[in-house]
Amino acid sequence: MPTQETDLDVLAKQLWAIGDPVRLQILRILPTEPTCENACNVSKIAERIGLSQPATSHHLRILRQAGIIANEKKCRDMIYWVQVDASSAVTEALRHVLHASD
C-alpha cells in the first residue's frame, strides 16, 4: 500500500539534508541562479570545500533529493544551484511547526 509523505515528513528530510556541516558548506558556496558566469560544477565545489569528487557528489545527491538544490547540464558541465523557493519553504514550514501551538 503506497504511503503519502506528509508535510512534516518532507520537512524532516529537508532538515536532515541541511543538518550536515559539509552540506551547509556546499549551500554557502552555491549560487541561487543557474548561469554560466557563476556556475558551480562538482569539481569546483569539491575543490572549494576540500573533499573528493565522489564525496562531494554524494552530498550533492542528498541535497538534490531533498529538493534543496537543483542541477542542469549547462555551460558544458552539470551545474548546481540553491533552489531559493525550497529554502524559503523550509524556513516557513519550520516557523509554522515551531509556532503551531501559539
pLDDT digits (tens, 9 = 90+) for 1-54: 445 678 888 888 999 999 999 999 999 999 998 888 888 999 999 999 999 999
60: pLDDT strictly greater than 80: yes
Q: What pTM was computed for the model? A: 0.83
**Considering only CA atoms, which of 11, 16, 28, 14 is closest in space to residue 98?**
11
Domain extents in the chain: 7-98
* CATH architecture for segment(s) 7-98: Orthogonal Bundle (1.10)
What pLDDT does 37 receive?
A: 87
